[in-house]
Amino acid sequence: MKRSFLGAYTMTTMLLAGYSTVFAATTSGPSTAPVLNGVSTTPPGETSSMPIAITPFATTPPDMYWNLSADPYNGSFQDVSNATGIYTNYYFSPNAAGEISMNDDVISDGGSPTNYNLYLWDYTTGQEIYGATIPLGSNSFEWTGLNPNDFYYIEWKANGNYNYIGGTFSVHY
């Protein structure tokens, strides 16, 4: 009888512990990060150990500002085709000398791309400032001679049909 009671007590305790774990896991609070076009991001001034994920839902130019003077803008993206491309979640301004730098590391996410298309857009005027076909891998860019009073954002596109790219990036001065 003692064994039966002890076994039932142990089993009940284990079941309750399992339910409390599930309950705790399902009741965690929502992210405090703002959501833009279905993209979750870390607000400027907050740090994150993981890059900010840009998802294929960010297929329109951004409508929020990131202050590069406070923090670099680090991010990642995946499954980007040539049909839709993907934009940074934020626009940003160059430093007083009119410079913006970016490092990216772009890989194939499907198909057989060997390069990708990269564009720098002037948010203020809507004009393409820079456009080039870039080989996959780690690349560094420095754009100079930009208008310090304008805002800018970046777009990535896979090159070729049925090709997809993904990667990480850091925009900074």
Backbone angles phi and psi of 63, in degrees to 5: -130, 20
pLDDT in tens, 20-33: 222 222 223 333 33
pTM strictly above 0.75: no
pLDDT of 7 over the 50 cut: no
Q: Kindly indicate the confidence band of residue 124, based on its pLDDT and cuts at 50, 70 and 90.
A: very high
CA 157 to chain CA centroid, Å, is: 14
* Residue 63 and residue 148 share a domain: yes
* Residue 45 and residue 6 share a domain: no
Secondary structure (3-state) at 100: strand
* Residue 91 and residue 15 share a domain: no
* Residue 58 and residue 17 share a domain: no
CATH number for 63: 2.60.120.380
- The total number of structural domains in the chain stands at 2
The range of the structural domain enclosing residue 68 comes to 35-172
Question: What pLDDT does 171 receive?
Answer: 97
pLDDT > 90: what percent of the chain?
A: 58
